[in-house]
Amino acid sequence: GTTEVPLSKAPSPHTAPRPPVMAAGCSLTKVDVLIDNSVLYCPALAQHRNNTKPIQWEPRFNNGFSLTANNTLLTVPLDGLYYVYFGISYRIPGNYCEQKGVDRIQDLHTQVFKFTASYPKDIVIIKSIDSMTCTILAQRFVYAGQLIQLLKNDKLKMIIHTPHEVVNWFKGGIYFGAFLS
């Protein structure tokens, strides 16, 4: 199954990602409140039961970005060159590996899509593929980002193609964002 996830903020594309700081259930970096033209969305609690449906998000910071009515797509406020990024923490919970049908190697696959009026189909703009051996309490953090030209009213979304149980939803281990560079 898949999970759709909209935007937040990250560090400059010219620096390594900083360790996340916990705040109200979200992953934040120390530079988050200093970046203009950025947005941060955090998962609405109790929305993560099934990763075949889009995750709904609630805003924490918002400088011009807007969400669709169902809070799963982010609308870009201005034309420009944006740094789009995401970070996801994965972990293998307790007896997950012993469950029937669970693969020994867990695929960690995430994509960020752009939808624009001039080409009304989802276009992959960032793709991350990684893996993790299914052992008790194994952990991995994946970060990806890219500079991309976006137009006003373009829509962005993130889809996670990883079993829901492996994504670290409840410890602020996921963020997705963009900022005008």
Task: Look up the pTM and report it.
Answer: 0.70
Structure tokens at 18: 């900083």
Triad 107, 27, 167: Cα angle to 5°: 25
Residues 81 and 163: their CA atoms lie apart, in Å, by 33
Along the 181 residues of the chain, how does pLDDT read in single tens digits? 554 444 444 444 444 343 332 222 343 333 333 334 444 455 544 344 445 444 555 555 555 555 554 566 778 888 999 988 888 889 998 889 999 999 999 999 988 899 999 998 999 999 999 999 999 889 999 999 999 999 999 988 888 888 888 888 765 677 777 888 8
> Domains of the chain (ranges plus CATH)?
3-180 (2.60.120.40)
| Amino acid found at 85 | Y
Residues 45 and 140: their CA atoms lie apart, in Å, by 23
